[in-house]
Chains A and B, each alone.
Chain A
């Protein structure tokens, strides 16, 4: 089954404790992205990756890091989480197409709480 998986699905942590949220897709997609969703603000892109070792900032990259060492994986790293990073996080992938226009497949989401 074609899917995007994220782990963990729920995480409660404390300020300053480094964490990683994993994302993996089995569709051989070139492009992957991370979004955060907050009430009233919609979906905001954090980082995206066009292929292995190629990443770029989205609209809200501060406080986050990413890496793309393998095509299927795109982990999101919070080196020193703060309470304002409490949010619902989605990973997404897309195969791209002509000009890169194609549907994105979203993972199930990771709900992060930073106390």
Chain B
């Protein structure tokens, strides 16, 4: 079962903030975030592990609430380059078995 992402789409002006949420009905051992620009392959942003360890991007932060089985991605002071579709992925115990959500389309306008 795929994680549920919200919102499905968001439009920002440059400099505004955005939050993308990811929730799972199945146990989350780790949450993975990727960004995909139009016509390109997904690119790694971040991994959040149970216990709070976080590995990833310098300018984008995220949280992982293990009790609620939720993760949120925080994009602050958005730039035009942030535009794309963001995917969260749920790992059930290993990185290689990964189930992604349907994605959130983020558009940043000048």
- Asked if B2 and A31 sit within 8 Å, CB to CB, the answer is no
Residues of B within 8 A of A97 (CB): 95
Residues of A within 8 A of B100 (CB): 35, 42-45
Q: Mark B90-107, 1 if CB is under 8 A from A, else 0.
A: 010111111111110000
A1 to chain B, nearest CB (A): 15
CB-nearest residue of chain B relative to A42? Answer: B102
Residues of B within 8 A of A106 (CB): 41-43
Residues of B within 8 A of A109 (CB): 41
Residue among A45, A99, A101 with the highest chain B CB neighbour number at 10 A:
A101
Q: Mark B7-28, 1 if CB is under 8 A from A, else 0.
A: 0000000000000000000000
Q: A103 to B95: give the CA distance in the assembly, Å.
A: 8
Q: How many residues of B contact A (CB 8 A)?
A: 27
- Asked if B44 and A104 sit within 8 Å, CB to CB, the answer is yes
Q: Does B70 contact A (CB under 8 A)?
A: no
Q: Does B71 contact A (CB under 8 A)?
A: no
Interface residues of A in 55-81 (CB under 8 A from B): 56, 58-59
CB-nearest residue of chain A relative to B95? Answer: A100
- Asked if A101 and B42 sit within 8 Å, CB to CB, the answer is no
Given the interface pairs A40-B102, A41-B102, A101-B91, the reply to whether A107 lies near B96 with Cβ below 8 Å is no
CB-nearest residue of chain B relative to A104? Answer: B44
Q: A40 to B9: give the CA distance in the assembly, Å.
A: 12
Q: Does A85 contact B (CB under 8 A)?
A: no
